[in-house]
Amino acid sequence: MNGYRDAQGVADSHVGINFPQHRKPAFQPIQPQMRPPSMAAGVPTSTGVTGIPFLSFDLGTAPVSGYGPPSTGGILHNSGLFEEEAPLLEELGIDTSQIMRKTRSVLNPFRLKSDLHEDADLSGPFVIFMLFGLFQLLAGKLHFGVILGWLAVASIFIYFVFNMLAGSNGSLDLYRCLSIVGYCLLPMVIFSGISLFLPRSGLTIAVISCIAVIWCTRASTGLLVMVAPHAEEYRSLLAYSCGLLYTAFSLLVLF
């Protein structure tokens, strides 16, 4: 056996290969270093350095510290806040039922209800103005600006005429006057819609335009007189002013 070892050593030395008896591995794994208790998350050390806190990103199981409402585990609950809010039209001060009652009152000029127009509004006149402009647009006339300008100028004209006739007893304000003139334009809007199906030149459309003017004039004059009962003696003058106003609108539809 000793002879075999000596012969193997001689052969290895002859080849030039030398095997060390204790060979160390070329790669040594890095052993994880345990952090001392003083370096725990959020605990200050003797050097004044604090550890980095660990945040959990599991939103469904653990709450996340920070701003905002607490986590509900991925389930949204209805708090009922939207159910307690008032409708949008009510928040804007638009009473649709009141607008419909005022509209029906104008459609029946023989039974006007002045108490409905005590609380003036511009929502109904704006809808009537848009309908009038839409019918004119269907007839090939872009008159939105013209109608709005004429309504404003006519309301100011009726306001000055009424207060000059009433003198010191005049109690009609411009806002209410604009509301009354706008609501009483509804028969003219109906006439504008009917005129789309009638020939422009003819006796029929002329008669319908006269009926619409008389209808608008009677409704507006009656409401103005009911607002101020002492103006009954000036009914004819108010009717003449309102008649001129709505005649201009009828000519706008005809031509």
Q: What is the dihedral of CA 76, 77, 81, 82, to 10 degrees?
A: 60
φ/ψ region of 46 (left if φ > 0, alpha if ψ in -120 to 50, else beta) reads alpha
pTM of the model: 0.65
* pLDDT of res. 95: 82
Asked, for residue 236, whether it belongs to a domain, the answer is yes
> Looking at the domain assignment, is residue 21 inside a domain?
no
For residue 44, what are the β-bridge partners?
50
Tokens describing residue 131: 């309908």
Question: What domain count does the chain have?
Answer: 1
Whether 200 is covered by a domain: the verdict is yes
pLDDT at 15: 47
Q: What is the pLDDT of residue 24?
A: 53
CA angle, 224 as apex, 221 and 226 as ends, to 5°? 105
Q: Which pLDDT value is given to residue 3?
A: 47
Mean pLDDT by 10 residues, the chain (255 residues): 48 49 54 53 51 51 50 49 64 81 86 78 92 95 93 92 78 88 95 92 92 94 81 87 94 91
177 domain-assigned: yes
173 lies in a domain?
A: yes
Radius of gyration of the chain (CA): 46
Residue 221 lies in a domain: yes
Question: Largest alpha-carbon pair distance within the chain?
Answer: 153
CA–CA distance from 90 to each of 83, 97, 128, 158 (Å)?
Answer: 14, 11, 20, 31
The pLDDT of residue 233 is 83
Task: Print the domain residue range for 140.
Answer: 97-102+118-254
Cα(123)–Cα(152) distance, integer angstroms: 15
* Residue 16 maps to a domain: no
134 in a structural domain = yes
